[in-house]
A and B are shown apart, each in its own frame.
Chain A
Amino acid sequence: MSKSHAENEVLLKVDHLKQYFKMGKSELKAVDDVSFEIRRGEVFGLVGESGCGKTTTGRSIIKLYDITGGNVYFKGDRIAAGTRSYDDRIKELKAEAKASGRNVSDEIAALKKERAAARYDHKHADPKEVTQIQMIFQDPIASLNPRMTVREIIAEGLMIQGIKDKKFIDEKVYEVLEMVGLVREHAGRYPHEFSGGQRQRIGIARAIIMKPELIIADEPISALDVSIQAQVINLLNDLRASMNLTILFIAHDLSVVKYFSDRIGVMYFGKMVEMADSDELFEHPLHPYTKSLLSAIPLPDPHYEKRRRRIVYKPDEVHDYSREQPQLREVRPGHLVYCNTEEFERYQKEAGAAGGSASAKKA
């Protein structure tokens, strides 16, 4: 599946995204220098344990937060930008000037200009374009206003866009309700009258009424029952086919992510540690954190479960970053791992060996 998307245009490009939160005097680096691309028609899964910054990444992309650093490009246009990297560079240059006496005013002026451009882009992103990114939230109860009817909830986006034609809006609402497997009559009801799965369907309807191209699904099934989870996944799959959607799928249930995504990024403490096609990632995980994550997946097979041993990830013991800082490197085509040179060579060997044995098996 992934191959077919490889030639498609890049729909969303996240470039060195940084999102820091103030915590008193210190700063919490919720997302620290994360870059990835999503091509049109693709489902990109983002996994990691709670608190690793998956949700923050999603929310930063849709501009729920003002990002600290980096850029977000949607269809080639910059929709969000942070200024931290420019600030830091300017500070550095000033310090250098003080130390060496070199004239840096030109460089600083250029940087300031860039910073102003970033600020302008961030503020004046085209609203029509930004509405093409929509979000589905984790908790369907918390994300629906209990005092609004389903019609009002779903139509709110259209109203904000300035559409006043009641009839048109109603038609649209009925259309999306039917698309997500609800019926017209549901439009007049309130959220509390629905079951968990139906509420999540309302959340999805609210997202797709804007005819989005990119949907950010933030743990859309974590709060649901197993049987309902399958309904929602199937619905998202159908919508994806019929509307040619691109989806950023954030979850911690790895079986579901594997089933649903074309490519997967693994996050750990605000960093992207590994990124690859989903089959590739599950067959040849390279980063120790990914391995530990995969070893923790429970499967409905008692005998396998008796044998399964969880690998514990201890970053201090596995990595030695005292000499060289790690960065994201491409170990195999399309398979990126966060590592330094020494690890890079080791991973390459590992990947080569694994790939070799796999191809030998196939032959």
Chain B
Amino acid sequence: MDKILDVKNLRISFRTNNGTVKAVRDINLELGKGETLAIVGESGSGKSVTAKAMLGILAPNSIIENGEIVYDGKDLLKLSEEEFHDYRGNRISMIFQDPMSSLNPIMRIGKQLTEAMILNGKANQRAAKKELSEKTRLLTKAMLGAASEGGAITSAQVNSLTTQFKEISSKAIRLSREFGRAYQAAAECRDELALYITDIKKDDPKSLVKEMKETAGKLSKVFSPYVVEEGNTSYKGKAETFKGLASAYRKQDQADELTAAMKDLKDELERQIPQEKPDFFAMAYYLMKQPGAQVHQKDIKALNDKTQAYLEEHFLKEFIQATAAGLEYSSKTSLKAKKAALDALKKALPVYEKEKLDKGECERTAASLIHLVDQSIDRLALKKENLPYVFGTSLHSAIKKYFEGIPHNRKEEKRFANDQAKYEKNAAKGRDIGKPVPALLVDLDLEHSNMIRIVKNLSDLYESQTAQNAKADYNEMAREMIHHLYQQETKVVHKVTKGMAKHHAIELMEEVGIAEARKRYNQFPFEFSGGMRQRIVIAIALAANPDILICDEPTTALDVTIQSQILELINKLKEERKLSIIFITHDLGVVANMADRIAVMYAGKIVEYGTADEIFYEPAHPYTWALLSSMPDLDTKEKLEAIPGTPPNMIHPPNGDAFAARNKYAMEIDFEEQPPMFEITPTHHAATWLLHPNAPKVEPPKIVTDRIERMRKLEVDANE
């Protein structure tokens, strides 16, 4: 499983007047690519806090005490607000419980959908440009390195290849831009005409004429060798007819004539708009080498085949070879650097393991370590490893917290002692001035162990990496790299205009199942029903094409049929877009449909996690049993087993298992010591002492075992 998001030892608390509320206590999660991870628990169990931390939208009184959330080689917890703009909404999106509160009531749906697209469009273009130049630079450097070591290629070859590559890509970008403009204009005209044809009978001529004028303006922008050819007289004639009729349109009885003209024009456009996109990179090369060549043909597939074959033969073969050599060189140098870094890490470990830490020594060692680790990263690898990327920031912040914590703790303790004395003095006089706010101390032991862990984790990783001698297929990697560069090129070209954003927004609205999207585009949120509103929110969340979608109880406010529609929609989008989803809910019935894996949370801790089958068919933690037994299904007849009491006060979380007080299976040790995570199967873990070898054998409640038996039987029946 490819990990896409990694939550490690996350610990979050909230500062309140009564003390710190420990909302999340040391949780570890990982999210695989294309997977749905469900987080289940009662309200107040810390589900939403975890999700909000991933998006950097925690309340201002929150304290992130510890941990990392690693995504794409960055620790999200240590990003600045400015840096977070690249991630929030763009790479990681969120759907909230109540659709109405996440929509602006006085803004049209269309505006809300396109707003972010237009803002993000430019940023994406910039980012792609940067990535393209950065990767090309690194690649050239690696290739030259490989050449200097006397590989199959010489540095002269490398220079000529890279200059060629740069020239081709800039030409390709130019060509692609021209095509994009014309294609977009044609597609917009076609769609707008379709709209007018359906609405002409209903709409007021005056407003329609205004809109049609705008469309008519676009009609001359569609000329391009691959969309509508300049010499296409039949198109021009139809466009003129439409323009003339549209500007003369005053009364409804002229509608039929106009409709016919529009249909003609639309059909013409549909015939002309190509289904496929030309491969501009290949074409640019072809044009460069054969300047007089005739490439103005309508059959784009044949054109692509021809130019691609030409490119492959004359340029790509050599280029791939060079790239592969470069990649090999880069990964080898990185391996060498890793070995050096590993030695340094091993040597540095005693510095941090000392009983009494020396600030200067710690910082000096850290600086040299960070430098070494930084050099050991293979920056050409498309798959980023998390640990080395976040090593620097994590180690720095742990050291900083530790040494800043020492004087801070002293100050806080003094303040608390003063406040306490004042309070007691007043209390003795019978005056009530309110209890003093407890001291907010930095956990020094934790920070210390963090430093050791950070160094040790990386050294373990490097040890395993340097030990294994896997043979990589550099040619395959080179192809991937070139594909990646292509993608960046297309992104550089992809400029988001207002019209495009509208087009995209309407596509999105249709994708999430909103009928008559064009009409709905101009409506306000209050004109939508609950389910439709949630669909809009999903469309907005998907607008920037995120990798990860966090759904925070997206269906709790909806009723059964709508709920099931929205869940189906989320599942469909997940398949189509290869999304990774974090699904937060308290309803286990909903989860069964969605989740690949489930984490059950209670009082800020994960008490059980495993695959959906394991949680539903072999639940192990008493809290999971309680959750399962407290909800009736269609065959439940017996009294429901409600969970007695309420969750514990998280200002003073209990010492042992937090669920012990409400657990009828609780043993003495549950009240004294926190149970560790016991492994049941490699994918299934639960934190309960019942799994200890010395624990008595306990059966889940009857209502749960009965149901599981029934489900098993149903399964057998269905298979027959």
Contacts and interface: CB of A to CB of B under 8 A. Distances in A.
B425 to A, nearest CB: 30
B568 A310 contact: yes
B133 interface: no
Given A293-B561, A298-B563, A305-B593, A226 B636 contact: no
B534 to A, nearest CB: 12
Interface string B616-650: 10000000001111111110110111111010000
B636 A300 contact: no
B587 A298 contact: yes
Contacts of A253: 560
A227 B590 contact: no
Given A296-B563, A298-B590, A259 B632 contact: yes
A357 interface: no
A345 interface: no
Contacts of B595: 302
Given A227-B642, A230-B643, A307 B627 contact: no
B588 interface: yes
A274 B334 CA distance: 71
Determine the interface band of chain A, counting residues with CB < 8 A from chain B.
Answer: 35 or more
A301 B568 contact: no
B715 interface: yes
A115 interface: no
B642 A230 contact: yes
Interface in A238-264: 252-256, 258-260
B577 to A, nearest CB: 20
Interface in A266-300: 282, 292-293, 296-300
Contacts of B631: 226, 229-230, 255, 300
A227 B630 contact: yes
A308 B567 CA distance: 13
Contact of A230 (B586, B593, B630): B630
A225 B631 CA distance: 10
A296 B564 contact: yes
A324 to B, nearest CB: 27
Nearest to A231: B642
A168 interface: no
Contacts of A298: 563-564, 567, 587, 589-590, 592-593
A302 B634 contact: no
A297 B560 contact: yes
B711 A230 contact: no
A305 B612 CA distance: 11
Interface string A142-166: 0000000000000000000000000
Contacts of A296: 560-561, 563-564
A297 B715 CA distance: 18
B495 to A, nearest CB: 40
A255 B639 contact: no
A265 interface: no
A233 interface: yes
A300 B633 contact: yes
Contacts of A171: none
Interface string A297-321: 1111111110110100100000000
Interface string A192-219: 0001110000000000000000000000
Interface in A314-353: none
Given A299-B589, A302-B613, A50 B642 contact: no
Nearest to B710: A301
Nearest to B628: A300
A227 B643 contact: yes
Mostly helix, strand, loop or mixed at chain A's interface? helix
B530 A50 contact: yes
Contacts of B644: 231
A51 interface: yes
B529 A51 contact: yes
Given A195-B646, A229-B631, A230-B630, A252 B560 contact: yes
A126 interface: no
Contacts of A233: 632, 640, 642
B42 interface: yes
Nearest to B619: A300
Mostly helix, strand, loop or mixed at chain B's interface? helix
Contacts of B641: 230
A237 interface: yes
A231 B645 CA distance: 9
Contacts of A50: 530, 558-559, 562
B626 A227 contact: yes
A302 B592 contact: yes
B634 A303 contact: no
A301 B639 contact: no
A295 to B, nearest CB: 8
Contacts of B630: 226-227, 229-230
A307 B616 contact: no
A252 B718 CA distance: 28
Nearest to A50: B559
Given A50-B530, A292-B561, A301 B616 contact: yes
Given A230-B640, A255-B631, A301 B711 contact: yes
A105 interface: no
A237 B636 CA distance: 14
B487 interface: no
B294 to A, nearest CB: 53
Nearest to A259: B632
A241 B370 CA distance: 70
B651 to A, nearest CB: 15
B572 to A, nearest CB: 12
Contact of B715 (A226, A252, A300, A303): A303
A8 interface: no
B593 A234 contact: no
B640 A234 contact: yes
A301 B714 contact: yes
A298 B590 CA distance: 6
B563 A197 contact: no
B655 interface: no
A49 interface: yes
Contacts of A229: 630-631
A301 B560 contact: no
B309 to A, nearest CB: 45
A255 B707 CA distance: 14
A301 B711 CA distance: 7
B646 A197 contact: yes
A259 B639 CA distance: 10
A136 B588 CA distance: 26
Interface string B635-675: 01101111110100000000000000000000000000000
A226 B530 contact: no
B522 interface: no
B393 interface: no
B634 A226 contact: no
Nearest to B630: A230
Contacts of A195: 646
A226 B642 CA distance: 9
Contacts of B530: 50
A259 B636 contact: yes
B588 A300 contact: yes
Contacts of A299: 589, 592, 633-634
Contacts of A256: 632
A254 B707 CA distance: 17
A307 B711 CA distance: 13
A54 B42 CA distance: 28
Interface string B338-375: 00000000000000000000000000000000000000
Given A231-B644, A258-B632, A304-B711, 20 more contacts: A49-B561, A196-B43, A197-B646, A229-B631, A230-B629, A253-B560, A255-B589, A256-B632, A296-B560, A296-B564, A298-B564, A298-B587, A300-B592, A301-B592, A301-B714, A302-B592, A302-B612, A303-B714, A305-B592, A313-B561
Nearest 4 A-B pairs (CB), nearest first? A230-B630, A259-B632, A230-B642, A298-B589
10 contacts: A50-B562, A226-B588, A226-B631, A231-B642, A255-B632, A258-B634, A296-B563, A298-B589, A299-B589, A305-B592
